[in-house]
Amino acid sequence: MAIIETRGLSKSFKSRRGVVEAVKGVDMRVDEGEIFGFLGPNGAGKTTTMRMLSTLMQPTGGQATVAGYDLLREPAKVRENIGYVSQAGGVDITMSGRENLILQARLYRVDQATAKTRAQELIVALQMEDFADRFAKTYSGGQKRRLDIALGMAHRPPLLFLDEPTTGLDPQSRAHLWEEVRKLRNEGTTIFLTTHYLDEADALCDRLCIIDNGVIVAEGTPDTLKHQVAGDVVTLGLDTRNGAIMQAQALLGKLSFVREVQVDKDILRLYVERGETALPQILRALDSADIVLQTIALARPSLDDVFLRQTGRSLREEAA
Amino acid sequence: MRLLTDTWLLFKNYMMSTLRQPVWILISLFTPICYLLLFAPLLDKMIVPSGPNTNALTSFTPGVVVMLGMFGSLFVGFSIISDLRAGIVERLRVTPVSRLAPLLGRALRDACLLLVQCLLLVTLAFILGLKADFWGVVLSLVLVIPMGIALASLSYAVGLMLKSEDAFAPLLNFFTTPLLLLSGVLLPLSLAPDWLQGAAKISPFYYIVNATRALFLGDFSDNAVWIGFGLVIVLAVLCVYWAANIFRRATA
Ligand SMILES: Nc1ncnc2c1ncn2[C@@H]1O[C@H](COP(=O)(O)OP(=O)(O)OP(=O)(O)O)[C@@H](O)[C@H]1O
Ligand SMILES: [Mg+2]
């Protein structure tokens, strides 16, 4: 069963400087009970899409159903059935974490006693016992982030939107949050999250979309996406002088086991069938053509390679 | 009914946050108290008491009460700008909470604080020797509270529209000083030349100050009283209605 389904969802911003097309006709489907990821570089349109789906922003085109209701016609119903944690958060620093949580649950019409129990559960689940009763003003960035996320879960929504949930968390809190998100999923909550961390998308998401410039460029489980790249990736560092790169590109592209060659400044990337047998042959070919090799590396394909294949750019560099 | 329960919930919450820093209640009392202590004594010799049971404070205190209501309320919009920046407004928008509850909850909190501040101020004035009709003073507070609600709503809506302190502060400055001087808060405008009196008639606060002065004197049948109450009610309805629309649109 689909819990989110969009058709041609788009958003353009008009300003004095012209029109920014932030999201250009997104079609996607998120199934009930999965962790669905939205992976893309800065400015790709992740937040914009999420804000439209959570009723915060009116789409300029397309339609969507969210949690069983039409986004445009029944936004109030949608709101009752979702939780949303924005990229920037929304903690009230004049109250303690616990008070924030209780109020949030009460705003969803949970009664006082249940709201209190719920707050306590979340404080334990997100390991906030040490600071939950202090003023939120005194929290560190990561502590505040954990409270943000807990606020999104205060009313146990069947669908939870998390915009870059782990940004600003230390590795330990991050791993812990992943566990918590998986637990939520196992209890039946659907989670829609955005991230620009490749490892996060890979390890956490059941399925994901890669979005770039407002367009979805790939969709599937992390494994199917990586398999689309097929085979292994050999990365060669070459001397940039004397057109060695061009020479090597022409030479290696002719080898039968090389599926694709990409040039990225002084780096040559080869998609090959079997990396371990390809390496010696590549070395021999370069050697016989007198091309000096500076570095060589072999890797299994990552989601970054998927992104690269689709867009010609590396997500890792964009994020850096 | 959801609007009422949501408003009540947020009101309690805003009130709790404010009461944690009670010093703020006193801070906006500071200026009016200064006027009572440091300015009113100058008037003793200037203003001739209009009757046996009156003194300079009888005509001065009502103006200071209105001034407290004006300034305390017009500046509340700053708080919504910081809430906006902290993402709190947006977090509330995604909840099913009634769109107007955040506005009404805040305005109600402000009204309560204003009432407490007015009571403190009037008590101080009595201690300083104010002679005034008791029920007139009570009715004046009844008059000033809806004015406070009107101005606070206005301030929140404008804050929500401008979204930045840098735009909000100069706008407030631009309007408050002329409005204050034209309302005859400090001295009755009967002392003013004709053109100034004419100009004052544009300011709604002029009528409100006149009404509170009449009330302090116990002149309940004075037309100024009716005009004042009528004006305050119209002002409150218009401002809350307009602010509600801004809130609804900004947080749709
Ligand atoms: N209110 C706005 N007015 C104009 N342009 C906007 C507005 N909001 C977003 N944009 C533009 O839309 C594009 C998509 O922005 P969005 O915030 O969705 O990116 P994102 O994928 O969430 O990026 P990040 O990883 O940096 O959070 C960007 O180019 C951004 O500058
Ligand atoms: Mg974003």
Contact A226, A306 (CB under 8 A): yes
List Cβ neighbours of A239 (8 Å cut-off, separation of 6 or more).
A266, A292, A294
Closest CA of chain B from A65, distance in Å = 16
Domains, chain A, ranges and CATH?
2-226 (3.40.50.300), 230-300 (3.30.70.980)
- With b meaning 16 or more CB within 10 Å and e meaning fewer, what string describes B209-244? bbbbbbbbbbeeebebbeebbebbeebbeebbeebb
Contact A103, B9 (CB under 8 A): yes
Q: Which string of DSSP letters, residue by residue, matches B46-113?
A: TSPPSSTT--HHHHHHHHHHHHHHHHHHHTTHHHHHHHHHTTHHHHHHHS---TTHHHHHHHHHHHHH
Q: What is the DSSP letter of B36?
A: I
Residues B95-152 pLDDT 10s = 999 989 999 999 999 999 999 999 999 999 999 888 889 999 999 999 999 999 999 9
ipTM value, please give it. Answer: 0.86
Centroid of ligand 1 to alpha carbon of A45 (angstroms): 6
Q: Coil, strand or helix: which one is A59?
A: coil
Mean pLDDT rounded to a whole number for chain A: 89
Least distant ligand from the CA of A51: 1
pLDDT mean over A46-62: 95
Q: Which residues of A touch B94 (CB under 8 A)?
A: 54-56, 79, 82-84
Residues A240-275 pLDDT 10s = 777 788 888 888 888 888 888 888 878 888 888 787
Least CB-CB distance to B87: which of A54, A88, A107? A88
Enumerate the β-bridge partners of residue A85.
A162
Closest CA of chain A from B234, distance in Å = 32
Contact B78, B168 (CB under 8 A): yes
Contact A175, A142 (CB under 8 A): no
Centroid of ligand 1 to alpha carbon of A293 (angstroms): 41
Neighbours of A283 (CB within 10 A): 13
Contact B140, B69 (CB under 8 A): no
Please state, in angstroms and rounded to a whole number, the distance separating the CA atoms of residues A287 and A284.
5
Task: Check residue B251 and give its pLDDT.
Answer: 67
Neighbours of A204 (CB within 10 A): 24
Enumerate the β-bridge partners of residue A237.
A267, A295
Residue listed under structure tokens 């890797």: A299
Cβ–Cβ gap A103/B13 under 8 Å: yes
Centroid of ligand 2 to alpha carbon of A43 (angstroms): 7
Cβ–Cβ gap B9/A76 under 8 Å: no
**pTM over 0.90, yes/no:** no
Please, where are the H alpha helices in chain A? 46-53, 75-80, 97-107, 112-125, 141-152, 171-186, 198-204, 222-229, 244-253, 275-288, 303-311, 315-319
Delimit the domains of chain B by residue range: 2-39+63-181+194-251
Residue A21 — very low, low, confident or very high, per pLDDT cuts 50/70/90? very high
Cβ–Cβ gap B94/A54 under 8 Å: yes
Q: Atom 12 of ligand 1 has which residue's CA nearest to it?
A: A22
Q: Atom 27 of ligand 1 has which residue's CA nearest to it?
A: A42
Task: Check residue A320 and give its pLDDT.
Answer: 45
Enumerate the β-bridge partners of residue A21.
A12
Residue listed under structure tokens 């004397």: A242
Residues B180-214 pLDDT 10s = 888 888 777 777 888 888 888 888 899 999 999 99
Q: Which residues of A touch B95 (CB under 8 A)?
A: 79, 104, 107-108
Residues A177-235 pLDDT 10s = 999 899 999 999 999 999 988 889 989 999 999 999 999 999 999 888 887 776 788 88
Please state, in angstroms and rounded to a whole number, the distance separating the CA atoms of residues A220 and A210.
9
Chain A 98-127, residues with CB within 8 Å of chain B CB atoms: 99, 103-104, 106-109
Q: Which two tokens stand for residue B201?
A: 């008639």
**Residue B221 pLDDT > 50, yes or no?**
yes
pLDDT mean over A290-297: 86
Please state, in angstroms and rounded to a whole number, the distance separating the CA atoms of residues B203 and A12.
43
Cβ–Cβ gap A89/B20 under 8 Å: no
Closest CA of chain A from B108, distance in Å = 18
Residues B82-94 pLDDT 10s = 999 999 999 999 9
